[in-house]
């Protein structure tokens, strides 16, 4: 069978063709940030210090709080038993001990592990989108923490991305290694399944170009497709909460105001940001579980235990000064909901919530969204990102879908 390159539903409709970067090396040249030849090498996650990790994440403007060290550390703490470390760093070929040029946070595992039903680590995507299937037994390489992260990218300066992608693909095309997910025929992986790439992020284009350049010689099939959508509200400048409501559809505006007024009649409505999220995470977990029960994130199972550990560790590693925030929603002093979000100074990312089901008459879901919008505008944030999933409530606030894409590389033939 010969190799091929496929495009499913356009991953990023309307993207300009000339926005795709050209691969090459560069610090000091017109096409990148490093003029040195680069190589990719494997190094364990634990060998990369937090300062280096977050510094490289900060160098990429497309990185989000999901790329921060705290998020990945918490994920490995909670779910490390479900996957294997495939962390890769990119360094100058002439001096591999020099400071890192890039971090490629990867892991490997089967597409579907036998324990996934119990531990609840299956990858989820938009229910209406049929993604290119991969055999459940395939040994696959994913972005690290991509089961619980809504966005992923490479940790590198944007001008380095083409050269970093080339170095990564060179490593992935290379010979087997003894501690990898080996097969008897010597192939180290069956699929490279990279999810959560944002449209507009040059990382995706650099990776796609590098994989496609090697597809014919390596016997790979390369697919670029839309994985899901993230509904995002872009907030206009110099508009307060009431001014923003006036811009919404009349029917939606009326319903929001009606529910908020009803709650306000029961007492003062407050959304307070907790100073240290680690002090409140157990309350959030209890509220979430009270609302969702067996369908929630924290049932009394192995999967629920892992989810609990993940949120606890995320709150602890983020600390009071991190991008993770936890909020308390009260009505007349009564706690009706708690929310978890990230704040990177430009965007507020609404990640999860726990709601008291006994307070449904107060419409805590609408109240939470309303107060989050007010909070974002008060802080001068330009966007409220509701993250993955096309739940109807997100569009009541004027959210517009921003697609995320998947790059899938599979083997169509064995190398000679």
The DSSP 8-state label assigned to residue 415 in this structure reads: -
CATH superfamily of 236-381: Gcn5-related N-acetyltransferase (GNAT) (3.40.630.30)
Residue with tokens 């929310």: 339
Kindly provide the b/e burial profile for residues 402-415, where b requires at least 16 CB atoms within 10 angstroms of the residue's own CB.
bbbbbbbbbbeeee
Burial class (CB in 10 A: 0-12, 13-18, 19+), 273: middle
Instruction: Return the domain boundaries, the chain.
Output: 4-228+405-411, 236-381
Q: Give the residue, 181 or 253, on which the prediction is more confident.
A: 253
The share of the chain scoring above pLDDT 70, in percent, equals 84
Q: Which residue has better confidence, 44 or 22?
A: 44
Of 121-135, 199-213, 226-240, minimum mean pLDDT range: 121-135
pLDDT of residue 120: 54
* Banded pLDDT at 1 (limits 50, 70, 90): very low
Residue 250 burial (10 A CB sphere; 0-12, 13-18, 19+): exposed
| pLDDT over 70 at 256, yes or no | yes
Of 397 and 129, more confident: 397
- Does the pLDDT at position 182 exceed 70? no
Say what the pLDDT of residue 13 is.
66
Rounded mean pLDDT, 320-342: 97
Q: Please, is 276 exposed, middle or buried when counting C-beta atoms within 10 Å of its C-beta (0-12, 13-18, 19+)?
A: middle
CB 414 within 8 A of CB 220: no
Give me the pLDDT at residue 375, please: 97
CA angle 74, 76, 79 (to 5 degrees): 105
* pLDDT computed for residue 5 by the predictor: 61
pTM confidence score: 0.90
Q: Give the burial class of 373: count Cβ atoms within 10 A of its Cβ; 0-12 exposed, 13-18 middle, 19 or more buried.
A: buried
CA angle 280, 370, 304 (to 5 degrees): 40
pLDDT of residue 146: 86
Distance of CA 172 to the CA centre of its chain: 22
**Predicted pLDDT at 8:** 54
Mean pLDDT value across residues 282-308: 93
Cα 277 to its chain centre, rounded Å, is 20
| Higher pLDDT, residue 147 or 364 | 364
Q: What is the pLDDT of residues 12-34, one digit of tens each?
A: 764 433 332 223 333 333 344 66
Question: How is residue 181 written in tokens?
Answer: 């997910």
- The runs of H, that is alpha helices, within 27-142 are 50-58, 69-79, 116-119
Is residue 124 a contact partner of residue 217, using CB atoms and an 8 Å limit? no
Predicted confidence band of residue 60 (pLDDT cuts 50, 70, 90): very high
Q: What is the mean pLDDT of residues 227-242?
A: 96
Say if residues 226 and 11 touch (Cβ distance below 8 Å): yes
Longest Cα–Cα distance of the chain, Å, equals: 74
Are 148 and 174 in contact, with CB atoms under 8 Å apart? no
Task: Please answer whether residues 381 and 346 qualify as being in contact, where contact means their C-beta atoms are separated by less than 8 angstroms.
Answer: yes
Residue 116's pLDDT is 57
When the pLDDT of each residue in the chain is averaged and rounded to a whole number, the result is: 88
For residue 36, what pLDDT is reported? Answer: 85
pLDDT tens track for 259-277:
999 999 999 999 999 999 9
The tens digit of pLDDT for each residue in 119-150 reads: 555 555 555 568 999 998 899 999 999 889 99
pLDDT above 90 covers a percentage of the chain that reads 78
C-alpha 71, offset from chain centre: 10
Give pLDDT tens digits for 70-119. 999 999 999 998 899 999 999 999 999 999 999 999 999 988 766 655 55
| pLDDT value for 111 | 81
Residue 14 CA to residue 49 CA, distance in Å, equals 39
What pLDDT is attached to residue 23?
31
pLDDT recorded at residue 61: 97
Q: Does residue 61 contact residue 158 with C-beta atoms inside 8 Å?
A: yes
Label residue 188 by pLDDT band (50, 70, 90): confident
């Amino acid at each position: 069978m010969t190799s091929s390159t496929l495009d499913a539903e356009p991953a990023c409709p309307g993207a300009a063709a000339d926005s795709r970067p050209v691969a090459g090396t560069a610090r000091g040249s017109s096409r990148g940030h490093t003029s040195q030849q680069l190589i990719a090498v494997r190094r364990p996650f634990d060998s990369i210090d937090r300062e280096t990790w977050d510094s490289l994440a900060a160098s990429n403007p497309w990185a989000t709080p999901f790329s921060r060290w705290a998020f990945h550390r918490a994920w490995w703490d909670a779910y490390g038993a479900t996957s294997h470390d495939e962390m890769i760093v990119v360094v100058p070929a002439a001096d591999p001990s020099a400071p890192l040029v890039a971090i490629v946070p990867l892991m490997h595992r089967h597409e579907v592990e036998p324990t996934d039903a119990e531990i609840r680590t299956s990858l989820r995507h938009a229910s209406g989108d049929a993604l290119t299937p991969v055999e459940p037994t395939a040994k696959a390489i994913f972005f690290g923490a991509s089961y619980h992260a809504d966005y992923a990218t490479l940790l590198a300066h944007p001008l380095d991305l083409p050269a970093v992608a080339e170095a990564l693909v060179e490593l992935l095309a290379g010979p087997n290694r003894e501690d990898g997910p080996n097969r008897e025929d010597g192939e180290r992986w069956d699929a490279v399944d990279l999810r959560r790439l944002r449209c507009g992020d040059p990382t995706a284009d650099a990776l796609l170009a590098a994989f496609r350049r090697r597809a014919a010689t390596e016997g790979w099939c390369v697919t670029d497709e839309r994985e899901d959508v993230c509904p995002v509200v872009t907030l206009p400048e110099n508009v307060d909460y009431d001014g923003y409501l006036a811009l919404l559809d009349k029917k939606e505006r009326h319903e929001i105001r009606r529910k908020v007024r009803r709650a306000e009649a029961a007492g003062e409505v407050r959304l307070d940001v907790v100073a240290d999220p680690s002090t409140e995470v157990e309350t959030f977990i209890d509220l979430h579980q009270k609302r969702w029960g067996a369908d929630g994130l924290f049932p009394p199972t192995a999967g629920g235990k892992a989810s609990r550990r993940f949120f606890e560790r995320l709150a602890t590693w983020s600390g009071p000064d991190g991008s993770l925030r936890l909020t308390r929603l009260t009505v007349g002093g009564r706690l009706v909901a708690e929310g978890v979000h990230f704040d990177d100074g430009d965007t507020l990312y609404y990640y999860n919530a726990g709601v008291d089901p006994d307070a449904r008459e107060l419409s805590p879901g609408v109240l939470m969204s309303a107060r989050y919008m007010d909070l974002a505008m008060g802080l001068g944030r330009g966007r409220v990102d509701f993250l993955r999933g096309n739940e109807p409530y997100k569009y009541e606030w004027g959210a517009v879908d921003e697609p995320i894409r998947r790059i899938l590389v599979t083997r169509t033939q064995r190398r000679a």
